[in-house]
Structure 1
Amino acid sequence: MTEVMAIVAIVERGRADYVVKRAKKAGAQGATILYGRGTGESEAKKFLNVHIESSKEIILILTEKEKCRQIFEEIVEAGKLKEPGTGIIFTFPISNLVGLHHRENFSLD
Structure 2
Amino acid sequence: MHFKLILALVDDEKTDLLLEAARRAGATGSTVINHARGEGLEKTHGIFGMALSSQRDVLLLLVEEHRCRRILETIAEVGEFDDSPGTGIAFQLDVEDALGVKHQMLSISQTLKDEL
Give the Cα separation in 2 of the matches to 1:96 and 1:28. Answer: 18
> Do 1:4 and 1:93's aligned partners in 2 also have CA atoms closer than 8 Å?
yes
Structure 2 stretches of 5 or more lacking a match? Answer: 110-116
Give the Cα separation in 2 of the matches to 1:73 and 1:6. Answer: 14
Matches within 5 A, 1:62-81: 62-81=62-81
> Do 1:28 and 1:63's aligned partners in 2 also have CA atoms closer than 8 Å?
yes
> Do 1:5 and 1:92's aligned partners in 2 also have CA atoms closer than 8 Å?
yes
Q: Percent identity?
A: 29
More helix by share: 2
Structure 1 stretches of 5 or more lacking a match? Answer: none
Question: Which residue does 2:92 correspond to in 1?
Answer: 91
Give the Cα separation in 2 of the matches to 1:18 and 1:11. Answer: 11
Question: Which residue does 2:32 correspond to in 1?
Answer: 33
Mark the CA change 1:78 to 1:50 in structure 2 (over 3 Å): closer, same or farther: farther
Q: TM (normalized to structure 2)?
A: 0.78
Residues 49-84 of structure 1: CA deviation (Å, up to 9, x unaligned)? 377442101111111110001000100011111121
Find runs of 4+ consecutive structure 1 residues off by over 2 angstroms: 39-46, 48-54
Question: Which residue does 1:58 correspond to in 2?
Answer: 58
Question: Which residue does 2:10 correspond to in 1?
Answer: 11
Question: Which residue does 1:49 correspond to in 2?
Answer: 49
Give the Cα separation in 1 of the matches to 2:23 and 2:56. Answer: 20
Q: TM (normalized to structure 1)?
A: 0.82
